[in-house]
Amino acid sequence: MTKTEKTNKKIKATPEPTLRRLPRYLHLLKFLRETGDKSVSSTYIAKELGFDPTQVRKDIEYTGIVGRPKTGFNIVELISSIEEFLNWKNITDAFLVGTGSLGTAMLGYGRFKDYGLNFVAAFDNNEMKIGKTIHETPVLSMEKLVDLAKRMHINIGVITVPAFAAQHSADLLIEGGIRAIWNFAPIHLKVPEGVLVENAQLTQSLAVLTHKLADAISKD
């Protein structure tokens, strides 16, 4: 590869493993900020979280910040850089579909604004819930979803309905012009090209745990 070709290389998309680690750095960094520390090294972060220092540096590099030898990274700057990179500084309005126990819990978790998410409305089919509010978020009829999503230019939809209803919920969100879906239903959603789906399925995480545990116990 010539030098010119090297210069022309397109910017690589951020690896997903990197994206998943960044929030973990962020939590640690916010903790360190409280303690009054001004800077932190990749070595320290790595030891604290059980990663490799080079990996931490490479991850941080994606966010666009530069460190300095001997001292490392400025904590405040690094926090800002990660939040910026994840787009957690621009609070995005979102719809939540399904106000069962998980949906209710999510509406009750007051911190999503720290992660760039703001629930402006929730939707449900249950007549008992429509018209009420859950933790200050109004619950509306599903029939209003498409039109309202269009008018409000909503980009993110969160699906917390049971599996059988998930595809229909997704279809409505997409019809309403949604760009990204955070799916908690244990099912694979079929969506047109251009619509992002992130599956937050707990069972995936649980699978890792139960398998490894069984493995560990079998070795006792």
Task: Give the residues lining the site for DNA (CB under 7 A).
Answer: 15-18, 41-44, 51-55, 57-58, 60-61, 66-73
Residues 35-64 contacting its own copies, CB under 8 A: 48-50
Q: By CB under 8 A, which span of 10-18, 52-60, 119-127, 138-146 interacts with its own copies? A: 10-18
In the complex, the smallest distance separating the C-beta of residue 25 from DNA, rounded to whole angstroms, is 12
Is residue 81 within the footprint of its own copies (CB under 8 A)? no
Decide whether 144 or 190 has the Cβ nearer to its own copies: 190
Query: What SS3 state is found at 50?
Result: coil
Question: Would you count residue 102 as binding its own copies (CB under 8 A)?
Answer: yes
Burial grade of 29 (CB within 10 A; 0-12, 13-18, 19 or more): buried
Cα 90 to Cα 9, 84, 113, distances in angstroms? 29, 8, 9
Phi then psi for residue 13, to 5 deg, are: -65, 150
Give every CB contact of residue 94 below 8 A, 6+ residues apart in sequence: 117, 118, 119, 120, 154, 155, 156, 157, 158
- Of 33, 43, 116, 146, the residue at the interface with its own copies (CB under 8 A) is 116
Which option in DNA, its own copies, none does residue 208 bind, with CB closer than 5 to 8 A by kind?
Answer: its own copies
Q: Where are the beta strands (DSSP E) in the chain?
A: 39-40, 73-74, 92-97, 117-124, 133-134, 137-141, 156-159, 180-183, 196-199
Token pair recorded at residue 5:
């070709």
Out of its own copies, DNA, none, what residue 129 binds, judged by CB under 5 to 8 A for its kind, is none
- Distance in Å, CB of 40 to DNA, minimum: 7
Per CB under 8 A, the list member of 2, 4, 5, 16 interacting with its own copies is 16
Binding site partner of 64, from its own copies, DNA, none, Cβ cut-off 5-8 A by kind: none
Give the CA angle between residues 198, 201, 202 to the nearest 5°: 145
Classify the phi-psi angles of 153: left when phi > 0, otherwise alpha if psi is within -120 to 50, otherwise beta.
left
Interface residues with its own copies (CB under 8 A) are 13-14, 16, 19-24, 27-28, 31, 48-50, 85-88, 90, 92, 100-102, 104-105, 108-109, 115-117, 155-156, 163, 179-180, 182, 186-188, 194, 196, 198-217
